[in-house]
Structure formats: C-alpha cells, structure tokens
C-alpha cells in the first residue's frame, strides 16, 4: 500500500526504529526491497535519486514500476524522490505520484535553502505528499581511495531548529559524520549531535550515507532519533560481487536474465539483513 513519508516515520517513532530507504535503479532492485519488507512485515521506502542515477534509468521510466509494486505490497510503502535538485524535478516526481520528496538546497545559502524548501512544502501539500530537506552537507560520493566527512559541514542544531520551524518539513537530513558512497575508513559519528538535533527540531532525523555503518553505530543512531536511513551503495556492491562469483563458477552459456536473478537474490538478502537491524529484529 502506498503511504507518505510522514506516515511511515510515525510508525518508526512509535516503535523506536528506523525505516530503510533504498535507492533503486532496476526492476530487480524494486522487487528485492519489497520482497524483503513483506517477508519481515516491515514498512519500507522506495527511493529514486535522479541526480545520481539518471544515467542508468530515467525518473519517468522507473516511477511507474516503483508505484505499481509499492501499491500492491502488503506492507506500507513510501515512494520518495531523493535529493531533488530544483522545483521542476520535485514537481515531476509529484506529478508521477510520488508520496514524498526531498528538496536538497544544502549547498545554497541558508536563506535561499529555507525559502525554496518552504515553496516545496507548499507544493507538496497540494499532492498530500511529505517533504524531507537538508541542513549541513554530507561528504561527496567517494571511491575506495576517497576522503572522509568534513566536520565543519556538520549540521548545527540551532540552525536546524530554525530551519524546521520556518519550513514546516516532515523530516530533516543531517550531517553528523556519514558520507555518500564507499568509506575509506570507519566513520566517526557524532551521536550526541543527532540527539540534540532531534530534541530541538521535533522532527525525525534522516541519515544519508547509511552503507558501511556498523550495526552498533546504526543502533546508537536510532536510539538517538534517526528514523530514516538511506542505503544503496553496499547493496549494489555486494550484488556486483555475487554476480561476478556466479559468472566465475558458471560453465556454458550465461544469459542476461541469469544475471538479473543473481542480482535480485543478493540484494534481497542484503535488504533483509539491513531491515532487521533498522527494525531491531532477530
């Protein structure tokens, strides 16, 4: 069933858990997320990051599959635009039927980010959709020999509280030590910052760059107010490694549909393991 981000985060708040938000680039990825969520009977967020993944599939091509499979699911499913870059992109997602959008104006001056976010909130309300926005800046996507998060970009709780009050958003993406992509070394998370932001803003905190975080750190973040965790890179990495292994083990013909099935198998396992951690399941 399709629901809003506000709705699934309400469940997360009541149960003191986090909802997995999984970025998608293929039909197999969508199926893997929903099958994992249904098996565990947990709500889930299907995301598309147009800025990062449009070279693989367009928003218009993947949206119908996300919405159709999400609507058929036996668990609550939010369909969410990740890192919406501008009003045009946000409106495209809302017109397609997304139940939630993120507007990312974190690289802009505060006043412009706040004004633009308020406009997005007004627009989304016409579609009964939720809005996530960002203050602070996550480290850029990195490679295996890349860098680490810059503490100077961490979210200031005082500014975060002002931003939430001025914009009326439903969830706040914060910077507290995570980065997008693959970590060069174990991240150093400012857990106390999460707790302070959650307390002063009164809205659920969103963790971007969830891949590569330890189970223990995930649990600490959730205990202190993280209610949505974005996760993609390591699921894609593990699936690629699994496909490579299966190809090396195979003799004779390998068809593309074999590769698709292997990818689905690996991603579903990763998503089951990940949702269990986020939902504190055994």
Which residues are known catalytic residues?
82
Query: Rounded to an integer, what distance in angstroms lies between the CA atom of residue 188 and that of residue 266?
Result: 28
CB atoms within 10 A of CB 233: 20
Query: Alpha helices, DSSP H only, in 41-151?
Result: 50-53, 59-72, 87-96, 110-125
Q: What is the dihedral of CA 17, 153, 149, 9, to 10 degrees?
A: 10
Angle at 39 between CA 34 and CA 41, to 5 degrees: 85
Contact yes or no for 8/43 (Cβ under 8 A): yes
Q: Radius of gyration of the chain from Cα atoms? A: 18
- In the chain, the N- to C-terminal Cα span, in Å, equals 25
Residue 67 is given by DSSP the state: H
Residue 196, both tokens = 């302070």
196-219 burial, b at 16+ Cβ within 10 Å, e below that, comes to bbbeebebbbbbbbbbbbeeebbb
102-111 burial, b at 16+ Cβ within 10 Å, e below that, comes to bbbbbeeeee
- Among 189, 230, 188, which Cα is nearest to 210's? 230
- Among 269, 155, 245, 237, which Cα is nearest to 201's? 155
């Amino acid at each position: 069933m399709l629901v809003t981000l506000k709705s699934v985060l309400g469940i997360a708040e009541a149960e003191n858990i986090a909802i997995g938000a999984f970025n998608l680039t293929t039909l197999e990825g969508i199926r893997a997320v929903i099958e994992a969520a249904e098996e565990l009977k947990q709500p889930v967020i299907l995301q598309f990051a147009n800025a990062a993944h449009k070279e693989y599939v367009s928003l218009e091509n993947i949206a119908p599959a996300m919405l159709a499979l999400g609507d058929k699911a036996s668990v609550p499913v939010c369909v969410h635009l990740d890192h919406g870059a501008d009003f045009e992109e946000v409106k495209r997602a809302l017109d397609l039927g997304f139940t939630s959008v993120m507007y990312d104006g974190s690289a802009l001056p505060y006043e412009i980010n706040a004004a633009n976010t308020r406009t997005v909130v007004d627009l989304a309300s016409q579609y009964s959709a939720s809005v996530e926005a960002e203050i602070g800046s996550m480290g850029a996507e990195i490679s295996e020999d890349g860098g680490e998060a810059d503490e100077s970009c961490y979210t200031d709780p005082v500014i975060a509280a002002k931003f939430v009050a001025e914009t009326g958003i439903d969830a706040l993406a914060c910077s507290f030590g995570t980065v997008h992509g693959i970590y060069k070394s174990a991240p150093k998370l400012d857990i106390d910052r999460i707790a302070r932001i959650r307390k002063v803003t009164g809205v659920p905190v969103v963790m971007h760059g969830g891949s590569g975080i330890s189970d223990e750190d995930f649990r600490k973040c959730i205990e202190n107010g993280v209610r949505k965790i974005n996760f993609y890179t390591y699921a894609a990495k593990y699936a690629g490694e699994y496909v490579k292994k299966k190809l090396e083990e195979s003799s004779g013909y390998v068809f593309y549909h074999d590769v698709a099935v292997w990818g689905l198998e690996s991603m579903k396992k990763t998503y089951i393991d990940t949702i269990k951690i986020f939902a504190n399941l055994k």
